[in-house]
């Protein structure tokens, strides 16, 4: 996952609204979002190479999502898959704080990452770069390949679009959020972050929705959870567009 924008306890009807794009090489095998046969409470897409996931939710209201932290100097090809972090949180029955405390002891086994984990009691953010977990405050938050709410152009743009969407309470719907996630506009070069990759790659990765010959946005996910615990989960996969949608009530 390379971009997540969420409204947390900011909307009168939906305390959790998530819009996220997963960016990956087109050749990496992936399964679309579904309930997992071996863990039927988990709803998530699946990386078929390492059998983890980038974002998911359970029927009991556990939510998790991960993004990479972009730092090419520290990347190790033999590191564990970061998608295992999301999978493991969704599979266990542990509090977000306890889970992050355990992850902190093994964070060096992974390349740099940002992790969001939550349950019906709250939502937490953790960065392997800082080694610190924090309770997420109500508001609109954006996360790409740096720390939470780092104002990269696409993060700032996504947060602004989310705020515009929230302003019209009566028209909150998945298509508005998919529209947010489909933005291919790129900022000028002088606004690009400097993350240790070439200028060509900085340009390619700068839009909210990424398109390049071998790498790009593979899926867009929209999640709406209302005050009664009703969840709407929508995923749109690319480059051949396929849509799936699920609805269920959280089992408290």
Give the count of domains, the chain.
Answer: 1
| Confidence (pLDDT) at 168 | 76
The two structure tokens encoding residue 146: 């740096």
Contacts of range 133-138, beta carbons closer than 8 Å, 24 or more positions apart = 133/96, 133/97, 133/100, 133/101, 133/104, 136/8, 137/8, 138/8, 138/9, 138/10
> DSSP string of 16-58?
EEEEEEEEEETTS-EEEEEE-SSSTTEEEEEETTTS--SEEEE
176: exposed, middle or buried (Cβ count in 10 Å: 0-12, 13-18, 19+): middle
Return averaged pLDDT per consecutive 10 residues of the chain, 252 residues in all. 94 95 97 97 97 98 98 95 98 96 97 97 97 95 98 98 85 87 97 96 97 97 97 96 97 91
Task: Answer for the pair 124, 116: CB distance below 8 angstroms, yes or no.
Answer: yes
| Confidence (pLDDT) at 91 | 97
| Confidence (pLDDT) at 240 | 87
| Confidence (pLDDT) at 38 | 96
| Confidence (pLDDT) at 172 | 72
| Confidence (pLDDT) at 170 | 62
* Residue ranges making up the domain that contains 33: 3-249
The two structure tokens encoding residue 147: 């720390």
| Confidence (pLDDT) at 252 | 87
Report how far residue 52's alpha carbon sits from residue 105's, in angstroms, rounded to the nearest whole number: 20
Where residue 63 sits, what CATH number does that domain have?
3.60.60.10
| Confidence (pLDDT) at 161 | 95
């Amino acid at each position: 996952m390379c971009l997540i924008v969420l409204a947390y306890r900011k909307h009168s009807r939906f305390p959790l609204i998530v819009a996220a794009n997963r960016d990956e090489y087109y050749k990496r095998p992936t399964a679309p979002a579904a309930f997992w046969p071996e863990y039927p409470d988990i709803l998530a897409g699946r990386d078929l190479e390492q059998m983890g996931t980038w974002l998911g939710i359970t029927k009991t209201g556990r939510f998790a999502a991960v993004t990479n932290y972009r730092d090419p100097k520290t990347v190790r090809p033999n590191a564990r898959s970061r998608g295992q972090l999301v999978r493991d949180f969704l599979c266990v029955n542990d509090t977000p704080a306890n889970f992050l405390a355990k992850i902190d002891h093994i964070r060096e086994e992974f390349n740099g990452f940002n992790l969001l984990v939550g349950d019906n009691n709250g939502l937490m953010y953790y960065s392997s770069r800082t080694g610190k977990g924090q309770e997420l405050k109500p508001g609109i938050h954006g996360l790409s390949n740096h720390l939470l709410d780092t104002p990269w152009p696409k993060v700032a743009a996504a947060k602004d679009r989310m705020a515009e969407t929230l302003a019209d309470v009566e028209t909150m719907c998945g298509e508005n959020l998919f529209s947010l996630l489909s933005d291919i506009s790129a900022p000028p070069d002088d606004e690009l972050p400097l993350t240790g990759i070439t200028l060509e790659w900085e340009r390619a990765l700068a839009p909210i929705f990424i398109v390049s010959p071998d790498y790009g946005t593979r899926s867009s996910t929209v999640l709406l959870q209302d005050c009664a615990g009703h969840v709407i989960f929508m995923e749109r996969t690319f480059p051949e567009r396929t849509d799936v949608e699920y609805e269920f009530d959280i089992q408290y």
